Structure 1
Amino acid sequence: MTTTNDRADLGLTDSAAGCSCCSTPSASDTQITASATTEDVLVEGMTCSHCVMSVTEELTAIDGVKSVSVDLNAGGTSRVTIHSAAPIEAAQVRAAVEEAGYTLAGDPA
């Protein structure tokens, strides 16, 4: 049996340090988080993953939006969380949701 020591560095860290999703944030991570904004809106009428994709696509097209996550409540009111560098105007959020074909909960029809 022949062994070689030619191993590629995969950039992995010591498992005792924790993974990236649950490790202690570094100072630079804290600074990014401190300047970021998270906003929850309620959207009515989404029923499936295509609905989620449509709303997510329209919202992420807004300047400054970093990511969007959706807690789908099929046929009811779904919670949509918008992560952005700065606060997003309510009119932009409303327009994006309406462009996707849905309404914000509580908006007059």
Structure 2
Amino acid sequence: MIKTHLKIEGMTCQHCVSHVTEALEGVSGVASAKVNLQKGEAVVKSEDTPLEQLSAAVAAAGYKVV
């Protein structure tokens, strides 16, 4: 498993965290996603899922990877 750290802009509440978590965990190859509202980041464990795919999932959920 590979750990990828993503900085995410636009999250303001726990609902945002849930939305981003669901989006990331829906990406093929992702085993888990832990999203931290205070840090504005997510740690994704995956089988070498490309960063572009993870960023696209976050963008589709309405947030931005920076």
1:1-109 alignment, distance < 5 Å: 36-73=1-38, 78-84=40-46, 86-105=47-66
Helix, strand or coil for the counterpart of 1:62?
Answer: coil
How many residue pairs match? The answer is: 66
How many percent identity over aligned positions?
38
Higher RCO, Cα 8 Å, sep 6+: 2
Q: Could you tell me how far apart the structure 2 residues matched to 1:51 and 1:95 are?
A: 16
In the superposition, the TM-score normalised over structure 2's length comes to 0.91
**Runs of 5+ unmatched residues, structure 2:** none
**Alignment correspondent of 1:18:** none
Larger radius of gyration: 1
Q: Could you tell me how far apart the structure 2 residues matched to 1:102 and 1:39 are?
A: 17
Q: Over the residues paired in the alignment, what is the CA RMSD in angstroms?
A: 1.1
